[in-house]
Structure 1
Amino acid sequence: MRGPARVNPEDRVRIKSHPVSLKRIAALFGPHKGTIAVVALLISASSVIGMAQPFLVRGVIDNALPNKDVRLLGMLAAAMVAIAGATAVIGVIQTWMTTAMGQRIMHTLRTQLFTHLQKQSLAFFTRTRSGEVQSRLNNDISAMQSVITSTATGVASNLTTAVATAVAMVALSPRLSLLSLIVIPPAIWFSRRVALLRRDITKSLQSELAIMNTRVDEGLSISGVRLAKTLGTTGRDAALYTESSQRLIGLELRSQLAGRWRMATMSIIFSAIPALIYFAGGLPGATMSIGTIVAFTALQASIFRPIMGLMNLGVQWVSAMALFSRIFEYLDMVPDILAPSHPVPLDPATVRGEVRFEGVRFAYDGGAEILHGIDLELAAGSATAVVGPTGAGKSTLGALISRLHDTTAGRVTIDGVDVREIAPDVLAKIVGVVSQESYLIHDSIRENLLLAAPDTADAQLWQALGAARIADLVASLPDGLDTMVGARGHRFSGGEQQRLAIARTLLRNPRILVLDEATSALDNTTEAQVQAALENLAAGRTTLTIAHRLSSIEDADQLAVLSGGSLVEKGTPTQLRHAGGAYADLVVAGGSLETSR
């Protein structure tokens, strides 16, 4: 039997750092007022009806059996069955209603939080661990099920049961009720001591389980297994996991054995209670009937659980508020990049694709400035390449077009419209991005391609694959378009992943294209294949290519050279090669640039 739990100090800190408004919590339950009222009535009815059982038992023992009154015995027995059936039906209905209500509230919170997190900038996900985001979205909201259904209904049920039981006990025997009041406090104290001891052990156990989960995630993921095999650390990883599992054995044993002597003492107390009641009932001058004693013993045994439940109310309340605090903290975050309240209407089909950087400055989270006053024009349909050493700000410049970041000062425009004034979904149709890291979801090739255009027919999918120079490979696979790409696309090589990503972007048909070092991690042969696919992709579009190999940008209409976040040169490749400036120095240095982000 569990005793009162102890408030987690971390929960109190959480609530203090991000307080929760009761009005805001009540708003979640607002649409379910009718359900709450019905559930409250059901709980009260179940508790009151259940209290009739001991009185029926007393009637059977004191009247029906001694007098051999078959008719009364039949009526009392039938009433017992009817009460048991009624409480069972009420319990099922109550569980159904509370579970349905809890699931709807959780659905609302889940979808609100997921949608809100999607609006956060890349900076948020860069500084926040993915496990933390998943924990709040999955674990915290799932834990709300217990708060909404078990805790809320448990309080009402325990309160009505405790009150009804206490009233019934007094009605049966005020003297025995006083005896119970003397015995219950030490039982509660023993139970509380056991609960506190187990709480400390459980915390250590959960910490060890978290370590084991980390070992599994790091050692058995695709990237983890690859790293372990290439570094030869499989034995070390297995040893670390074994040590953690061994520690878990000791913690589990301590958890199971914690406070056993206290629990044994409490069991003796509970066994002594009926004995004391029987003893009191048999004293000279006692007027209690046998039926009364039996009924009272049953009531006394059932009052402990609801009392313990009510004693846990404070802890349950703090835990619930901590969960709400964690969820609302994320919901209250204002995105770094806000969608325009009144977006400028722009038809992706008629966009010319002229891009301008006007006095653009940028710094990450108020830190040192990465870009310093960039002025650059990308004529509609032209190809512009950006080169420069590591840390020059090339990738940052490209990210500003698709509004993965917002400028600190200045602006970026498309056909004269500030990208901050374009609706996000419209901007995504206008600007396509192919980066060094091509992300493929763990699904079929078809589903990965359909992310760009959900209603595309297979014929168009094959056409895009052909333009990306990978149709022959897909056609040679046994499952063709239905081939699973694997976690993060590991079923395919880096170059194949890139070409699938290019095919997906082709289906999107963006007017403006940002190629962010799309071939930097590929060998020469694979790069040539991907480069041919990129040329097909870039044809007729305004293209900004962030390059790492100078040989791949010789056909650019315009070349921009960044250094230290400043635009130091621009012109055609031929002009800059003969100008004797920064670009000429890069060419002399060997024709290769390091990647930057």
Structure 2
Amino acid sequence: MGFLRLYGRVLLMLGGDRPMALGLGIAALALAALQFLEPVLFGRVVDLLSRSDRMEPAALWSEATQLLVIWGIVGLAGIGGNVAVGLFADRMAHRNRLRVMHDYFQHVLALPLSFHGDTQSGRLMKVMLVGTDNLFGLWLGFFREHIITFVSVVVLLPLTLVLNWRLGLLLMVLVVVFVVVSVLVIRRTQAAQAKVEDFHTRLAGNAQDALSNVVVVQSFTRLNSEARMFGDIIRQVLDHQFPVLNWWAIVSVLTRAASTLCVIAIFVYGTVLHVRGLATVGEIVSFMGFATLLIGRLESAIGFVSHMVFVAPRLADLFGVLDARSSVPEAPDARDIGRAKGEVAFESVGFAYPGGPPILRDVSFTARPGQTLALVGQTGAGKSTAMALLQRLWDPSEGRITIDGHDLRDLTLESLRANIGVVFQESMLFSRTIRENLLIGRPDATQEEIEAACREAQAHDFIIRQPQGYDTVVGERGSNLSGGQRQRLAIARALIKNPPVLILDEATSALDAATEARLQKALAALMAGRTTFIIAHRLSTVREADEILVFEGGQVAERGPFAALVAQDGRFAELVRTQLAGGAVPAH
């Protein structure tokens, strides 16, 4: 039943093209009827010739001409119908393949970081490309060819009972045996093929993992080890695939044998019936035509069904991703806040990952518009988690977070995130031009606005020195630029977006002290007039913050300005002394 449900969903995914799919189904019924008529007409011609010696020549020619004309019309109509069905099925399959690909891509991008953290990007790409390709093949094959087979078996095969019920029953028994054998093989191979697809997914994931870390692979001389690991998975694929192929090879042999046996059985039984006066020669010829036609189509259908078995796990993977739900669902009545003033409040916020220990407990603070708050503390204290909650990458387990008094859960995700800009520790640039990277937050920005932001971010001068200026492609993850250049582009990107709330997530921790000092002017321009949250380990970067929140064990242990916290001689003062000993914090 799971197999049938899976392919029922494949057909339901045609969406707006369902009326066309219904029309193709009706066309398939008509084409099946035309194919049904051809053996009948052939049998009539044979019967006419068998009694030609007892007919007047004029009557013989008249009846023969009628039969041949009808046969010609049926043949031409069948050709025209097949061409039309093929064209419409082709266009429908292409259109829906790209639509599903677009929906999948949009859906995956909207899934929370918790989903992406557990799923390799290589696997997601493989699932999208392979899954949609298989959908295309199934739609095209089904509507262009195999739906006619299914219609013939279900609807037209019983009509053979009208011509000669004895021969009709024999034909039906042969077809039923054929179908039962195929169903048994499907049940035998379905689970095995699912294991094969699991190994294929591991192949894609391992390949993507190695390629995205090619520097590590080469630096640690992992070439042979990675290739050997890849080869081991390939061997496991083959070990599990060959038994499945063996079963379908047996079916293929049985199918070819069934075609011959079916024709022989009808010929022998038909001869017996003819001797007893229960079947004409024409009826025997017609049923031999039915048998040849049906067995030929069933052979093709079995190939189609075997293909369905092979691709079922791939489609299940595709549907599994499409069915993945966000851990931060948007409320049906979520509102667009417009441009916020920038007041952010955490009210007794607690958070724990599903099944995990508490990460945040009873965190409360308020950042008024234009204020700068710094979040400091040891790694794992909860700073980054708090800012992830502000962006609604997760929802609090307890309490609530508001922006301008609105609970984040009452806002649309798009309007919330449009009001928040983030400069990450790693600048995360796309392998696109500098201009395209800068326009990510605000695609309608003019060239003048782009250049003004880049000048504020101290980026314009190095950009115009690039080979194609703003049209220079920066490479994957900005690999063609230095760390400082990438970070200045990230700052310019945030300036162009112009959000009222800003998060600086370890924005300078990956840079050397000299580069960080050069970026301070750019960061000051970015923070001006915005509610800013600074996550920092280098305490020198939080000296000018209006308030510093010291996180420890998921709680705010201390809070206040830099000088006041140092004077308290508490946890923050201890952090300052530790970094002073390492020369990380200026003494004045």
Same fold (TM over 0.5): yes
Q: Does structure 1 residue 44 correspond to structure 2 residue 29?
A: yes
Q: Equivalents in 2 of 1:212, 1:25: separation in Å?
A: 26
| Counterpart mapping for 1:191-590 below 5 A | 202-203=193-194, 205-219=196-210, 221-223=211-213, 225-245=214-234, 258=247, 263-264=252-253, 267-279=256-268, 285=275, 291-304=282-295, 327=319, 333=325, 335-336=327-328, 338-339=330-331, 341=333, 343=335, 345-348=337-340, 351=341, 353-365=342-354, 367-590=356-579
Note the alpha carbon deviations across 1:387-426, whole angstroms, 9 max, x for none.
Answer: 2112222222333433334344444444445444454333
Letter in 2 for 1:47: A
Change (3 A) 1:150 1:569: same
Higher RCO (C-alpha 8 Å, min separation 6): 1
Match of 1:94 among 75, 80, 85: 85
2: CA distance, partners of 1:475 / 1:355? 38
Matches of 1:192 and 1:357 in 2, distance apart?
59
Q: 1:256 offset after TM fit, Å?
A: 5.1
**For residues 573 and 295 of structure 1, do their structure 2 counterparts lie closer, same or farther at Cα, with a shift above 3 Å needed?**
same
**Mapped contact 2:259–2:295 kept (Cα < 8 A):** no
> For residues 540-572 of structure 1, what are the alpha-carbon distances to aligned partners after superposition, in whole Å with 9 as ceiling and x for unaligned?
323221111122222333333222223233333
Q: List per-residue Cα deviations over 1:279-325 (Å, max 9, x = no partner).
A: 55666936666554433211112233667869999x989x9999699
Structure 1 pair 480–179 and aligned structure 2 pair: CA distance change class (3 A):
same
Closer/same/farther in 2, CA of residues 452 and 126 from structure 1, 3 Å limit: same
Are the counterparts in 2 of residues 109 and 141 from structure 1 also a CA contact under 8 Å? yes
Q: Secondary structure at the match of 2:354?
A: helix
Deviation at 1:363, TM superposition (A): 3.1
| Partner Cα separation in structure 2 for residue 419 and residue 251 of structure 1 | 49
TM-score, with structure 1 as normaliser: 0.78
Distance change >3 Å, CA 244–CA 311, structure 1 → 2: closer
Cα deviations across residues 335-381 of structure 1 (Å, max 9, x unaligned)?
Answer: 43535826375544xx2x34444443333337433333334343433
Q: Aligned letter for 2:449?
A: Q
Q: Distance in 1 between matches of 2:250 and 2:119?
A: 46
CA displacement at 1:517 relative to structure 2: 0.7
Q: TM-score, normalised by structure 2?
A: 0.79
SS at 1:440 equivalent: coil
How many residue pairs were aligned?
Answer: 572
C-alpha change, 1:524 and 1:211, in structure 2 (3 Å) is same
Counterpart of 1:491, as a letter, is N
Bigger mean CA offset, 110-119 vs 370-379: 110-119
**Separation in 2 of the partners of 1:152 and 1:40?**
7
Q: Which amino acid aligns with 1:94?
A: V
d(CA) in 2 for partners of 1:259, 1:121: 41
Q: Could you tell me how far 1:508 is from its partner in structure 2? A: 0.7
Distance 1:574 1:163, change over 3 A: closer
Superposed, which structure 2 residues align to 1:59-78 within 5 Å?
59-63=44-48, 76-78=67-69
- In the TM superposition, residue 431 of structure 1 has moved relative to its aligned partner by 2.2
**Is this contact kept in 1: 2:350–2:397, CA < 8 A?**
yes
Unaligned runs of 5+ residues in structure 2 are none
Give the aligned partner of residue 55 of structure 1: 40
Corresponding residue SS for 1:590: helix
Q: Is the 8 A contact 2:12 2:18 kept in 1?
A: no
**In the superposition, relative to structure 1, how do residues 561 and 241 fare at CA in structure 2: closer, same or farther (>3 Å)?**
closer
Corresponding letter in the other structure for 1:341: D
Moved more, 203-212 or 548-557: 203-212
Q: How does 1:149-168 map to 2 (within 5 A)?
A: 157-162=148-153, 165-166=156-157
Q: Distance in 2 between matches of 1:259 and 1:360?
A: 58
- Deviation of 1:157 (Å): 3.3
Q: What is the rounded CA distance, in whole Å, between the counterparts of 2:414 and 2:249 in structure 1?
A: 61
CA contact (8 A) 1:165 1:303 kept: no
Say whether the 8 Å CA contact 2:559–2:565 is kept in structure 1: yes
Q: Identity percentage over the alignment?
A: 27
- Give the Cα–Cα distance (whole angstroms) in 1 for the partners of residues 392 and 237 of structure 2: 48
Structure 1, unmatched stretches of 5+, are: 1-6
Give how far 1:501 is off: 1.4
Q: Secondary structure at the residue paired with 1:519? A: coil
Give SS of 1:57's match.
helix
Change (3 A) 1:482 1:321: closer
Counterpart CA distance in 2 for 1:346 and 1:243 is: 54
Q: 1:400 to 1:206 in 2, by over 3 A?
A: closer
Superposed CA deviations along residues 229-280 of structure 1, whole A, max 9, x for unmatched, are 0110101222333444456566666655557567546544532443454455
Give the deviation of 1:505 after TM superposition. 0.5
Which whole-Å CA distance do the structure 2 matches of 1:359 and 1:281 have between them?
87
Q: CA deviation at 1:128?
A: 5.4
Q: Which amino acid in structure 2 is aligned with residue 386 of structure 1?
A: L
SS at match of 2:492: helix
8 A Cα contact 2:128 2:318, kept in partner: no
Q: Which SS does the other structure have where 2:275 is aligned? A: coil
